[in-house]
Amino acid sequence: MKRKITMAALILLFLLLQSTLCQKISVASIKPNLLIILIVSFGLMRGRKSGMMIGFFCGLLADIFFESIIGFNAIIYMWVGYLSGYFYRIFYDDDIKTPLFLISVSDLAYGIIQYCFRFLLRGRIQFFRYLGRVILPEVFYTLIVTIICYRILYLINQRLNLSDNRGVDYFV
Amino acid sequence: MKKKANEQLKNKYMLAVLSALCVLLIVVSFLDSSVVAPVKQVSGFLITPIQKGINGFGSWLSGLTDNFEDAQTLRLENEELQAKVDSLTEENSQLVQDREELRRLQTLYDLDKQYDEYEKVGARVIAKEPGNWFQLFTIDKGSDDGIEPDMNVISGGGLVGIVTETGPNWSTVRAIIDDNSNVSAMVSTTSDQCIIAGDLRLIDEGSLNLIQLTDVDNKVHVGDKVVTSYISEKFLPGILVGYINELNNDANNLTKSGYITPVVDFRHVQEVLVILEKKVYVPSDSKSVQPDTTDETDSGDGTENPAV
């Protein structure tokens, strides 16, 4: 229960930060993608189910608050969370290299999917221009923020594991 | 072991169900956006106060860092002067426009009355779309203050965008630099029609596409002022959009295209004014309006708190 409340609060916090504070720290009109960090981190630390659920709710809330089409971000983030859950227990989650790699791949995939469905379909065909100006800078910026954020998320997860009193091996 | 396999199967099953749900939601919201409107209303109602708070904190924080860069007094003075410059620019552009068209307007006095002064409400930008792809933002006023979808939003004397959705205490605004945005506009000196289209590829230049300009007399020049057109369905006529900074002939030799520099600084827009008046659009009639018999009138834009 405590975990669920914490997770809900984290999702809401990250979403709010993404829409408000990120705007203030944006560099050359590019914001880091905090939601991907949260989703991939927990997918990696907690497994497929957690990643999937967090991704789904993050995406759904982002859609509800900001998009006219509901469900698009939800489905992408859900799959991102689910797939990153495959790395649970294969890699150690206290090493920052794995999340860094996973988050960059996820953010890259997210950018490409966004481009394909929302720009390519409208006839904007200069893929490399968007890749160079939006997708890759976002990946890079997100990576930098990950270095700070991941430690905090890791510690939160450790605390929750302790208070769960069930050990790390138990699924949510 | 069996339990684990079971668990995994359950996860896969759940993923499939949720994916199907998402697809269903996409289809439903794509076909009829009114279905999801109530959910948005409730969530917006809950989240807007928090966004306001965080944003206030963020402003305070960025204000704090500004203090390191320069003295507080200088900053205030600069802000004040900037506001003054903006209001003077606005006033000046209005005066120039007035002079250009006084002759014609005197004969169309009734029309002038109609757009004399729009009622406006000021609002603060509290949140931006989470991704880097679109230029939507949320403001802290909504239907309680009389804002409705399709109302025009201005700031610092120029057009910012249009309200797309409203809740009780929030509204979503799509900026004119959004990739999906198209504004019917015209060159104020010659009244030649064109379309101003936002483009993500131009975020570095901070400019907008100007397309389909019909300029048969070759009288439009770089530096000319572009205002919203009177044949636009949703935008009130005569709101300043920007200035032409490049103009080229199209391959068809009939129209021209180029770029304009908007008057609004979209990266730092914090306070906006929403015009509480919607364009009255008469379908199919307005298309037959002759460009030389009628004209746009005084814009009556806001001059206060531009906060650039």
B72-176+265-288 classified as CATH 2.60.40.1250: no
The answer to whether residue A125 neighbours chain B at the CB level (below 8 Å) is no
Q: Which residues of B touch A18 (CB under 8 A)?
A: 130
> Between B245 and B68, where is the model more confident?
B245
3-state secondary structure chain A: CHHHHHHHHHHHHHHHHHHCHHHHCCECCECCCHHHHHHHHHHHHHCHHHHHHHHHHHHHHHHHHHCCCCCHHHHHHHHHHHHHHHHECCECCCCCHHHHHHHHHHHHHHHHHHHHHHCHHHCCCCHHHHHHHHHHHHHHHHHHHHHHHHHHHHHHHHHHHHHHCCCCCCCC
Q: Are B29 and A75 inside 8 Å of each other by CB?
A: no
Q: Do B29 and A71 touch (CB under 8 A)?
A: yes
Confidence at residue A39, expressed as pLDDT on a 0 to 100 scale: 92
Q: Determine contact, residues B143/B111, Cβ cutoff 8 Å.
A: no
Tell which CATH classification among 3.40.1000, 3.30.530, 1.10.260, 1.10.1760 matches the domain A2-14+28-161: 1.10.1760
The answer to whether the Cβ–Cβ distance between A119 and B179 falls below 8 Å is: yes
Residue B295's pLDDT band, with cuts at 50, 70 and 90, is: very low
Residues of B in contact with A108 (CB under 8 A): none
Tokens of B146: 């009389």
Tell if the CB–CB gap between A68 and B44 is shorter than 8 Å: no
Domain spans in chain A, listed from the N-terminal domain onward: 2-14+28-161
* A23 at B interface, C-beta within 8 A: yes
Chain B residues with beta carbon closer than 8 angstroms to that of A23:
58, 127-128
Q: Which residues from A are below 8 Å from B14, CB to CB?
A: 49, 52
Residues in B closer than 8 angstroms to A126, CB to CB, are 201
Mean predicted confidence (pLDDT) in B287-302: 38
**Banded model confidence at residue B157, pLDDT cuts 50, 70, 90:** confident
Q: Do B72-176+265-288 and B182-262 come out as alike in CATH topology?
A: yes
Cross-chain Cβ contact A78/B18 below 8 Å? yes
Indicate the range of B103-107, B142-146, B234-238 predicted with least confidence. Answer: B103-107
How high does pLDDT run on average in chain B?
77
Indicate which of B8, B11, B22 best probes the interface with A, i.e. most A CBs within 10 Å of its own CB.
Answer: B22
Among candidates B85, B93, B28, B140, which has minimal Cα distance to B240? B93
Per-residue pLDDT tens digits for A34-79: 899 999 998 988 888 888 999 999 998 888 877 778 888 899 999 9
Backbone angles phi, psi at B251, to 5 degrees: -65, -25
Which residues of chain A make contact with B30, given a CB cutoff of 8 A?
A: 69
Look up the CATH architecture of domain B182-262.
Beta Barrel (2.40)
Q: Nearest chain A residue to B35 by CA: give it.
A: A70
Contact B25 A49 (CB under 8 A): no
Residue A148 Cα, gap to closest chain B Cα (Å): 19
The mean pLDDT of B203-232, rounded to a whole number, is: 84
* A117 contacts chain B (CB < 8 A): no
pLDDT beyond 80 at B304: no
Measured between CA atoms, the residue of chain A closest to residue B31 is A69
Q: How high is the pLDDT of residue B233? A: 84
Mean pLDDT in chain A? 85
Contact of B3 with A21, CB cutoff 8 Å: no
Rounded to the nearest angstrom, the minimum Cα separation between A168 and chain B is 15
B256-281: average pLDDT: 84
What's the gap in Å between the CA of A109 and the closest CA on chain B?
A: 14
Measured between CB atoms, which of B22, B51, B58 is closest to A74? B22
For chain B, domain boundaries:
72-176+265-288, 182-262
Question: In terms of Cα–Cα distance, which of B237, B197, B243, B7 is closest to B112?
Answer: B237
State what percent of residues in chain A have pLDDT above 90: 15
B239 has pLDDT over 60: yes
Q: Is B186 helix (H, G, I), strand (E, B) or coil?
A: strand
More confident residue, B237 or B33: B237
